[in-house]
Each structure stands twice: as structure tokens, then as C-alpha cells.
Structure 1
Amino acid sequence: MTPLSHRALRALERFNAAHPWDHNAHFHRWILRRLPRRCAAALDVGSGSGDLARLLATRADAVHGVDADPTITARARELTPPGAPVTFATEDALTGLPDRTYDVVTCVAVVHHLPFGEALTVFRRHLAPDGTLVLVGLCRPTTPVDHLLAAASSPLNAAIGWLKNGGRTAPAPVSMTARTRPAEMSFPDVVRAARAVLPGVRLRRRLFWRYTLVWRNA
């Protein structure tokens, strides 16, 4: 990388930091479009501040969100209107899920923190017959397609951040304040591991450094 391109990258990073927006929330409406219009119960793994769990309540009679961080779980409860059919618990995503099944299981930008194959096995075990699993994940860019999508995402990320914040600087949303770490698996690794656990699973690379996974327990 040349000094000029390095300076440009640093300037872009500073701009993005001053105009943040929630990449995960960008996929929430997309997730809803993959789900049945009504269902009895939904589980959101890694629920964070509860934005997706509250949105799932427009489709499900009851929604349960779990997150390993007690502080963000408490914040999710504070942000949830009284009487909403949504509960939150501080639990481990692999060992602390309730002993029951759900019509919908969602997981956004969390599974790269977990043993991938084991996490998918747990999610499958908690999915009711005909239930739907929808996952938005992060992977390590390794292929030309990955790098092309990353290159396209960078200017779009800056433009959307500027538009969403009305051209003004802003603090990061609550949902973006949780600690995270880089993804280690490549997309081809994700595909191979997912197909081993979820026959017929559909995966696709996305903009904004994400991929999506959809599987129906048919």
C-alpha cells in the first residue's frame, strides 16, 4: 500500500467513525422477509440491545433473546415497552438456551465468536419442525469476490453513514458498542461447515462485510 492510499484509508476510517450506522440492523428487514407471517415462538441468539427481538415480536407470539453480556441484556429490557411479548436472559449461546424448540431462530454477527459447527448444531436442535433459521455472519476475506465486495462496501458505507446521520457527526448506536473480534473463517470454510450440519442450507455473500445463511428444518 502506498503512503497516499494509506492516508486515504485512514481518512475514510475517521469519516466512518464520525458517521456510524448499524450494519447489522441493515439486515433486520431482510430477515423478516425470510420468515412466516405469524409464528408461535422465536429465539434471537446474541440479542444485544434487543432491536431484532422487538422486531420479531411483530411476527411471533413470543420472542426470547439471549446474550452473554449482562449489561447489554439489561439495556435491552429497558428499551422494551411494557407488555411486549419479548423476554431477555443473560445466557451462553451454546449451553444456556431454554430446553425447548422455536419456529424461528435468528443470530446476527455473533456466530464468528463461537465454534461454528457446534453452534449450528445447537441452533438446529432448538428449531421446531418446519422452523426457519436465519443467520447473518462475518467471515475473513480470502477470495477475489470477497475483496471486490469489500471494495464496493467501503464507499457505500461512508455514503450511507453520512445520509443516515444527516451529514452530522454522531456517537455509535447502542447496538454497536459491544466488543467484537475479527472473523477467522473464510466464506468457503463457512459453506463447507454449514453444509455438513444443515443439508440444503442457502448461503450468500453480502455487502458490508457480511454473509447470510437461511435453512428450513423441513
Structure 2
Amino acid sequence: MPLVRRESLADQAADALLDRVRSGEWEVGGKLPGETTLAQQLGVGRSTVREAIRQLAGRKVLTSRQGAGVFVANLEIAEDWDAVLRRADIDAVIEARIAIEVEASALAAERRTQEDLTNLHRALAERARHRHDVYEHVDTDMAFHRGVLVAAHNPILLELFNHFAPRNREAMVDMLRHRGDYGDDADHAVHEDIYSAIESGDSARTAALTRTHLGSLKRPPR
């Protein structure tokens, strides 16, 4: 019979600990017994317990505090962020864009540099040239909106936008292909207005324009 590898044993120990957490044996914030006690309870070595705890800490279920011990952080494993994005429908995507981009646009109006304005103007011109192919239209549209995030000079908002971008692109392409119309003069004029508001430093107007524009993309209630 082949020997059980330590990694497999650690996985089993992690599953056993997770079951005990889910059963309510320890509440959120509750302290787990020490490694020696857990090793005896699980019938494994301390090194296996240590690896199991490391796994569950990486999955945000447990947290280790130097000199204090191991504590329960969550009763369930947090769902993978990419899985959440893949499952999100178009309205959820747009609502997330509103949450990120409205604040970012206001910050852009306050913080934009001349280089930011130059890059935004260039992105706006590229957007104007690509209104007929849905993929090119979405790509140039996203480049403009990302330029607004860059001009906000907030690395966290930019990172959120970047991580969200692939699902955003997919959702926008699907939506515009379904509607069959995109990139008309009125739509582009809104983006020109957003640029002008950023250029003039009017954060309230920039935020209002961005909110109205993104809100208009949502499906009407049934």
C-alpha cells in the first residue's frame, strides 16, 4: 500500500478543522486549541496541523496572531473573486462600474495633470474612430474610462478597475451586440462632456455625468 503523502494528510486535517468551524465548535473570534492538542485530536503530527492551519489562513477562515494563537476569522471560505465576476449579470457589472467610476471621475477632475488630459483626449479621439466594430468600440471605450481612473490617482480604485476589466469587457460586448446599436453621436457627446468637465476641474458635474451615463446602460425594470 502506498504511503499517504504529507500534503494529502494536511488537506484532510484542514477539511476536518473546517468542518469543526462550520459546526459552530468555535465562533468567529474564537481561539483554537494549541497545535499539540489539535494534533492529538486529529491523530496527526504537529507539522501537519501547522500546514492545515496555514491552508485555512490562506482561505481566510483562520488567522494567526503572533504570540496569541490561532483564531476563527470566518465560518465559511470566501468565494473566489473571479468566480463572483463570472457569475455576475450585466446590471451587477454596471452597478459595480458606477460604484467605482463615479467617485474616480470626481477625483480625476480634482487631480488630473496635463499629461492625464493629453492621454484622455487621445483616448477620446481613438474612441471616436472606432464606433462600428463592437469589439474595437468596447476596447477604446474602456481605454477612455481607464484613463479617467488613472487621472484619479488612486491606486486602489485603479486596481479594482483593472481586475474588473475582463468581465466588464465581456458584459459590454454582450450587451451592445444584443442591442445592435452603439457609438452614436449622442453617446460620444456624453464622453466629450465628461472629458470637458474633468478638464475644467468640475468634480460635481463630472460625477453626475458619469453616474447618468452608466445608469443609462442598465436594463429597464420589468
Q: Same fold (TM over 0.5)?
A: no
Q: Which has the higher strand share?
A: 1
TM-score by length of 2: 0.22
TM-score by length of 1: 0.22
Q: Which has the higher helix share?
A: 2
